[in-house]
């Protein structure tokens, strides 16, 4: 391709609304254009990158027996109501765009495809003889993100590869899950990217085991915790650790004392000379449950610990066995709007009476009482006395009439001891989630009554797995991991073109002819080649070549008269003078190295 015909529009200045390097570089390099928040045009260079990523992914999916299909984006609400996800996905923090057609039928734009794929597989598969099966697609997905940002990283419209597997039993599912795990590792390696698999929460999709693939980058939105020996890696949402030990308190007669402070743990520690690990703090949250119900939750945590809302969400869902739409903090305004008397915020203890909720307009009249292990393990502690500016000192769970059962709802933090080896401490890293694999089990097949007939002639629900890769996100994340002060440095396997020939001076006939000759020969060798034939000054062309990040470069310049050119590898910044023939061979050797990988 000739650069003069490429629709290459590069920007010298960084657009003001781009924050992270990859977003800035893709805009500046003429790869993408924003149409609306979280909605982008993939310009010709970007589309080539995306197609390359898709191709690698598709090849590896085919190798593990995946069948490629294309599922609809426009999906009827009935399907989502059957699986029980319609409300959760359209209300509260719901992420599904939804609409009504002229018949007033409700439809959603697919943020994911479990419902559709499960129902179609149910129609097609009747017998265990047809199983196992894996179906996949590469499709544009729609998600009404709370806050789209960072270009393609968190878009409202994006490209994803999603695969779904169906099995007669759990061990067969686990077998495919393992194969997918291996295929994913191979995919990221082939793309030339550093990606770490971590244990993960399965989130709204639900299910049992799940693993995320995190591309390491400083701008990553996710915090991951890793053990130095590499044996443990988890998303902070899911991570476990051994908490630090609390500072012991001398056991004395318990007493209620006046504490003049703002109500924060920090203040209380200062004014009463305590350590935060000696205090039990209480957080009030409100769960919004399907069918418009609201459940106040009273959570006890050790003072130095932080609430892990994802763990909390999962535990609450398990306990009430219904879809929870949202969990958010209870505020004094919220209390007032229920027509309730004010709560003693800042001095609440684990035993705050349920009578505080009596007469609430639409909240449940009882607190759901939860506590983290670290709180329950405290023998003696300080906690709120349920009266403004009063705390109970040297109290214990025996004195607290309402002892909740212990759960793991605390946040693991870097520096804490690892569960598998207490001699090691967790390290923090930032990551961009580019892939996620799940063992769904029978959640969706049960909900949608998707069944097959087994050897004994009885109906069984499918065992299912699902496996996603964010194609467009991965393509940008690759830039986040591979750039320098001059621009992008694409890994060869996913670069839009393998090589760019820069003719330094288009006025020089010798240079021009040698460049054209190399261009032709490279094309004949099936090399993806760009020829910068623009009538620009050499400096401009070098800057653009650096910016758009083509991994290999041949500069045809003043040594053309000796038949020599410069060969340069983008990431090394070093060039060497070679004959045009040698340059050809260099390019061919490099390109072959990726096809052999």
Partner RNA sequence: CGGGAUGUAGCGCAGCUUGGUAGCGCACUUCGUUCGGGACGAAGGGGCCGCAGGUUCGAAUCCUGUCAUCCCGACCA
Q: How far is the CB of 517 from RNA (least distance, A)?
A: 16
CA 63, chain centre distance (Å) = 25
Token couple for 205: 């999709």
DSSP-based three-state secondary structure for 571: coil
Q: Which is nearer to RNA, 169 or 505 (CB)?
A: 505
Indicate the helix (H) or strand (E) that contains 14.
none
Q: Which of 7, 13, 362, 405 binds RNA (CB under 7 A)?
A: 13
Q: Which of 114, 532, 546, 586 binds RNA (CB under 7 A)?
A: 546
First to last CA, the chain: 26
Q: Which of 144, 208, 309, 528 binds RNA (CB under 7 A)?
A: 309
Q: Which of 57, 195, 301, 471 binds RNA (CB under 7 A)?
A: 301
Q: Which residues make Cβ contacts (< 8 Å) with residue 302, sequence separation at least 6?
A: 243, 246, 276, 277, 279, 280, 281, 372, 374, 375, 378, 410
Q: Is 544 in the site for RNA (CB under 7 A)?
A: yes
Q: Is 588 in the site for RNA (CB under 7 A)?
A: no
Q: Is 390 in the site for RNA (CB under 7 A)?
A: no
Q: Which of 300, 557, 583, 584 binds RNA (CB under 7 A)?
A: 557
On whether the CB atoms of residues 256 and 390 are closer than 8 A, the answer is: yes
How far apart, in whole angstroms, are the C-alpha atoms of residue 587 and residue 552?
7
Q: Which of 1, 31, 32, 38 binds RNA (CB under 7 A)?
A: 38
Q: Is 146 in the site for RNA (CB under 7 A)?
A: yes
Q: Is 461 in the site for RNA (CB under 7 A)?
A: no
DSSP-based three-state secondary structure for 397: coil
CA 355, chain centre distance (Å) = 42
How far apart, in whole angstroms, are the C-alpha atoms of residue 323 and residue 204?
10
How far apart, in whole angstroms, are the C-alpha atoms of residue 584 and residue 526?
12
Q: Which of 141, 281, 391, 392 binds RNA (CB under 7 A)?
A: 281
Q: Is 36 in the site for RNA (CB under 7 A)?
A: yes
Q: Which of 12, 102, 250, 398 binds RNA (CB under 7 A)?
A: 12
Q: Is 389 in the site for RNA (CB under 7 A)?
A: no
- Residues that bind RNA (rule: CB under 7 A) add up to a total of 60
Q: Which residues make Cβ contacts (< 8 Å) with residue 361, sequence separation at least 6?
A: 337, 338, 339
Contacts 24+ apart (CB under 8 A), 481-485: 481/193, 481/194, 481/215, 481/216, 481/217, 482/192, 482/549, 482/571, 483/21, 483/22, 483/25, 483/549, 484/571
DSSP-based three-state secondary structure for 264: coil
How far apart, in whole angstroms, are the C-alpha atoms of residue 384 and residue 386?
6
Q: Which of 234, 409, 547, 584 binds RNA (CB under 7 A)?
A: 547
Token couple for 43: 């310009």
Q: Which is nearer to RNA, 118 or 308 (CB)?
A: 308
Token couple for 396: 């214990």
Q: Is 549 in the site for RNA (CB under 7 A)?
A: no
Q: Which of 504, 522, 527, 583 binds RNA (CB under 7 A)?
A: 504
Q: How far is the CB of 317 from RNA (least distance, A)?
A: 16
Q: How far is the CB of 548 from RNA (least distance, A)?
A: 9
Q: Is 343 in the site for RNA (CB under 7 A)?
A: yes
Token couple for 131: 């199983």
Q: How far is the CB of 143 from RNA (least distance, A)?
A: 14
Q: How far is the CB of 583 from RNA (least distance, A)?
A: 13
Q: Is 148 in the site for RNA (CB under 7 A)?
A: yes
Token couple for 468: 């996603």
Task: Specify the stretch interacting with RNA by CB under 7 A; choose among 112-120, 338-346, 456-464, 472-480.
Answer: 338-346
Q: Which of 63, 242, 540, 597 binds RNA (CB under 7 A)?
A: 540
Q: Looking only at residues 311 through 330 of this chain, which bind RNA when binding is defined by CB under 7 A?
A: 328-330
Q: What residue ranges bind RNA (CB under 7 A)? A: 10-17, 19, 28, 34, 36-38, 146-150, 263-265, 281, 283-284, 301, 303, 305-307, 309, 328-332, 343, 345-346, 411, 486, 504-505, 507, 537-540, 542-544, 546-547, 555-559, 566, 575
């Amino acid at each position: 391709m000739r650069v003069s015909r490429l629709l290459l529009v590069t920007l010298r200045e960084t657009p003001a609304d781009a924050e992270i390097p990859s977003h800035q570089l893709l805009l500046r390099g003429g790869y993408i254009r924003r149409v609306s928040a979280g909605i982008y045009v993939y310009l010709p260079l970007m589309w080539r990158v995306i197609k390359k990523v898709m191709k690698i992914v598709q090849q590896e999916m085919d190798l593990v027996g995946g069948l490629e299909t294309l599922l609809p984006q426009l999906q009827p609400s009935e399907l989502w109501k059957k699986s029980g996800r319609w409300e959760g996905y359209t209300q509260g923090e719901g992420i599904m765009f939804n609409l009504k057609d002229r018949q007033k039928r409700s439809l959603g734009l697919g943020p994911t495809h479990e419902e559709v794929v499960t129902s179609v597989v149910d129609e097609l598969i009747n017998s265990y003889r047809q199983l196992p099966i894996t179906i996949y697609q590469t499709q544009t997905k729609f998600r009404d993100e709370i806050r789209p940002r960072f270009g393609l990283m968190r878009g409202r419209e994006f490209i994803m590869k999603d695969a779904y597997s169906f099995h007669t039993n759990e061990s067969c599912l686990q077998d495919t899950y393992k194969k997918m795990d291996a295929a994913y590792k191979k995919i990221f390696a082939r793309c030339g990217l550093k990606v770490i698999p971590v244990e993960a929460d399965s989130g709204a999709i639900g299910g049992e085991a799940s693993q995320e693939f995190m591309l390491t980058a400083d701008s990553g939105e996710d915090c991951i915790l890793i053990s130095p020996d590499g044996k443990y890696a988890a998303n902070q949402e899911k991570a476990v650790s051994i908490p630090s030990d609390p500072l012991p308190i001398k056991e004395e007669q318990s007493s209620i004392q006046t504490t003049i402070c703002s109500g924060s743990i920090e203040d209380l520690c200062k004014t009463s000379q305590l350590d935060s690990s000696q205090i039990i703090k209480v957080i009030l949250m409100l769960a919004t449950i399907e069918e418009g119900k609201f459940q106040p939750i009273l959570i006890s945590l050790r003072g130095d610990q932080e609430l892990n809302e994802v763990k909390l969400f999962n535990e609450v869902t398990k306990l009430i066995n219904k879809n929870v739409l949202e969990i958010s903090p209870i505020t004094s305004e919220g209390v007032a709007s229920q027509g309730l008397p004010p709560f003693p915020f800042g001095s609440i203890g684990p035993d705050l009476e349920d009578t505080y909720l009596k007469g609430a307009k639409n909240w449940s009249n009882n607190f759901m009482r939860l506590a983290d292990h670290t709180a329950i393990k405290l023998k003696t502690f300080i906690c709120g006395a349920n009266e403004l500016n009063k705390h109970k000192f040297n109290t214990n769970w025996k004195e607290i009439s309402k002892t909740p059962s212990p759960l793991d709802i605390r946040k693991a933090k870097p520096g804490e001891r690892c569960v598998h080896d207490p001699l090691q401490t967790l390290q923090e890293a930032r990551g961009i989630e580019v892939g996620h694999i799940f063992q769904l089990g029978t959640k969706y097949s049960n909900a949608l009554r998707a069944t097959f007939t087994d050897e004994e002639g009885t109906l069984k629900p499918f065992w299912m797995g699902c496996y996603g890769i964010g194609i467009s996100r991965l393509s940008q994340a690759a830039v986040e991991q591979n750039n320098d002060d001059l621009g992008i440095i694409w890994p060869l396997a996913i670069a839009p073109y393998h090589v760019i020939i820069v003719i330094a001076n288009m006025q020089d006939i010798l240079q021009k002819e040698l460049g054209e000759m190399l261009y032709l020969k490279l094309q004949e060798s099936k090399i993806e080649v760009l020829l910068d034939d623009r009538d620009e000054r050499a400096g401009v062309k070098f800057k653009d070549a650096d910016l758009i990040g083509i991994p290999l470069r041949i500069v045809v310049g003043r040594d053309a008269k000796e038949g020599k050119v410069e060969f340069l590898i983008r990431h090394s910044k070093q060039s060497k003078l070679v004959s045009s023939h040698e340059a050809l061979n260099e390019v061919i050797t490099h390109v072959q190295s990726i096809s052999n990988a």
